Structure 1
Amino acid sequence: MTTKGITYTEEFKKIFIAENVNDKLPRQIFEECRFDIDILGIHGVHSSGNICKLLHKEDGIVGLSDARNLNSGRPLTKD
């Protein structure tokens, strides 16, 4: 967690998807994983949950991986 945002682990995202498929609500999943809902805010919980579901829907389990270190920064070579 930084002042600019929150990065969830791949493990948490997988847990979220597995529990959500079993009809658990996002708030319940976050609380069971010991997140403080008062800090995140209910809007933050729902938007984070929606992002996880969208990534999973588009690319499956691979979509939940943190690929920032693979796709960030300046290109190594010029075109």
Structure 2
Amino acid sequence: MGYWDIGLRHIVDVDGQLLAIDDETIEAIDLLARANRPTGSQLWLLLDGERVPIGPEQRLSLSEDEVLFFETSDRASGAGCLLAA
């Protein structure tokens, strides 16, 4: 059975959490909600080693051929990360 048989067409990574999304597009605020991140967080698209800011109402086109990687302002600032003493 292929991934398309179960409706998982698009894979995105938000702060290291993989999400399967069937929709071809999604608004940034909805992506944050699906990833259980605060919807007021700044979302960044990680692309070719650079962080591209994404606005909360921006509609994102998802690809079936690649995983898109996102980071939130919480993750970028180090919130929630454990530091070794």
TM-score by length of 2: 0.31
| Bigger helix share | 1
TM-score by length of 1: 0.33
Structure number with greater Rg is 1
| Bigger strand share | 2
